[in-house]
Structure 1
């Protein structure tokens, strides 16, 4: 009985210390791309910040567009690069204004990502459901060409 009391006495500090330990941290939500609600909002934000604009022209029926949403746009490297851009998605068939915008930028296939200077003029573009390993380098080149606000 004495041994049992001694064992309990020795274990008590260990058990009690775990009660006062810091609570387990909740897993933080994965970082996400910060999309602007419209092209007009993106253009205004770009003019304010000096960042280039990434415009994703997509449609709801487009398989490669869905790949971008499910895979590429969730890739940590893409998410990190997106911080250097003003990001906007445009459903090219949803409204007459979106249709006109797609026509303005001569979008004839989906997805088409148009990289714009902060003033809204095209610097470059990429077409297709590209993985982040291919899209991010194109974004970096386009940002240099666009003269966007890259962190040094």
Structure 2
């Protein structure tokens, strides 16, 4: 009987997000369609299968409850393989990976045309896109929940539009008070 209660409790906690929160990931095409009905910014995680920091970002940052809750409330979240073979329609153009080699699916492969379009040269890169589908900023590298929080909130509130110089960004950064743990 104790074992059954423990298993039931474990199932309830897991499904309720007691251990890890889930971000509601959609495809880039789905996010662009959703924006037409309910405008929200897009946060696109551009990753590769072979990238260690990409896996750390998934495990340490995107599983954080505060990050997941904030992203789910304020963004359409997209996972995009920067070296994958998916075809994507964006800005009246089809982007693909014509040099994709299936034999290299879990190793370095050729860059997807969309990754090149967004000038991604390192993985992971989190691409922020506004409500009209325009690029805001590609944020390179692994970020902790607290480091990502700054950008999530700055872009959500459009504070970046008032920052014109490195000095202004530095002042914004210094004044920012993180609320996320981790």
Partner of 1:101: 114
TM-score, normalising length: structure 2: 0.62
Per-residue CA deviations over 1:86-139 (Å, capped at 9, x if unaligned) read 000100111162611111111111001011012210112311111111001211
Greater length-normalized contact order (CA 8 Å, ≥ 6 residues apart): 1
Runs of 4+ in 1 over 3 A off after TM superposition: none
Cα root mean square deviation, aligned: 2.0
Partner of 1:42: 31
- Name which one, 1 or 2, has greater alpha-carbon Rg: 1
Partner of 2:63: 74
TM-aligned CA deviation for residue 28 of structure 1: 4.6
Partner of 2:155: 142
Question: Can you give the 5+ residue segments of structure 1 that lack an aligned partner in the other structure?
Answer: 1-23, 148-152
8 Å contact 2:57–2:144 — kept in the other structure? Answer: yes
Partner of 1:33: 23
TM-score, normalising length: structure 1: 0.74
TM-aligned CA deviation for residue 73 of structure 1: 0.4
Partner of 1:20: none
8 Å contact 1:33–1:79 — kept in the other structure? Answer: yes
8 Å contact 2:47–2:125 — kept in the other structure? Answer: yes
